[in-house]
Amino acid sequence: MNILTLQNITKTFGGLIAVNNVSFDIKKNCIVGLIGPNGAGKTTIFNLITGNYKGDSGSKIKFKDKSIINMPTHKIISLGIARTFQTIRLFQNMSVIENVLSGRHLQMKSGVFASMLHTRKQKQEEKYNLNKALKSLKFVGLEKNANDLAKNLPYGKQRLLEIARALASEPSLIILDEPAAGMNNQETSELVNIIENMKKRNITTLLIEHDMSLVMRICEKIVVVEYGSKIAEGTPLEIQNDPKVIKAYLGEE
């Protein structure tokens, strides 16, 4: 079963076609890689999935059989899609646990009124959310850092914190934009473990990544884009041997 289907998605900025009629789908519980040279349109595809950009007419995106194209981002998150960003977007002066809690605010049930009155229901909910947030932190191995300021974490751990925050919204699909960028080898292998553990918990992953050994190791399917268009799609083995892909990458150097 497909969890996400992109059909003929196109995005232009003025005269520039950033994404050109791209279609592919993602099966539930798979790890899929989206690769391509810089400027190929990968992040723009993510921004279309999460509603940060509106698609040009004719673009269709379905998540669990529901059309999500041009839906507001908060609604898309509440349906079960979470993301991380290419450049880290944490609340640098807040603690690690507070950053994760910020990923849960959509799950909170009691409204502003209850929080002003500090009702028992609201206190219970805070406790519940704190527990969930701690679980997300533990999942990425940052539970010992819960009370540190985000800005005091080394870069690789900040990236893991972004994943914990995304997981805190309890997504069924997580999309990661260059999660291994700036990570050392040990952090990268921790990241691989985390992504594989997400799969065990029935979370589907779509990732953009330049670290080819990571992509080839964990992805079951890879989609390749160049100049906004999809040029190939297949298993790691198929992609490694695809002449168009080889040319796109050799041409970049």
Ligand X SMILES: Nc1ncnc2c1ncn2[C@@H]1O[C@H](COP(=O)(O)OP(=O)(O)O)[C@@H](O)[C@H]1O
* Cβ proximity to Mg ion, 84 vs 145, nearer residue: 84
Contact pick of 39, 80, 141, 234 for ligand X (by CB under 6 A): 39
- For position 69 contacting ligand X by CB under 6 A, the verdict is no
- For position 84 contacting Mg ion by CB under 5 A, the verdict is no
The residue range among 38-46, 98-106, 138-146, 181-189 that interacts with ligand X, by the rule CB under 6 A, is 38-46
Tell me the C-alpha distance between 29 and 134, whole Å. 24
- For position 20 contacting ligand X by CB under 6 A, the verdict is no
Query: What b/e string do you get for 112-134 counting C-beta neighbours within 10 Å, with b at 16 or more?
Result: eebeeeeeeebeebeeebeebbb
The residue range among 33-41, 145-153, 161-169, 198-206 that interacts with ligand X, by the rule CB under 6 A, is 33-41
Tell me the C-alpha distance between 166 and 174, whole Å. 7
Contact pick of 43, 84, 99, 169 for ligand X (by CB under 6 A): 43
Beta carbon of residue 100, minimum distance to ligand X (angstroms, whole number):
26
Neighbours of 193 (CB within 10 A): 12
Residues 32-61 that bind Mg ion (CB under 5 A): 42-43
DSSP run (H or E) holding 20: strand 16-27
* CA atoms 68, 72, 76, 78: torsion sign: negative
- For position 38 contacting ligand X by CB under 6 A, the verdict is yes
- For position 179 contacting ligand X by CB under 6 A, the verdict is no
DSSP run (H or E) holding 31: strand 31-35
Residues near ligand X (CB under 6 A) are: 13, 16, 18, 36, 38-44
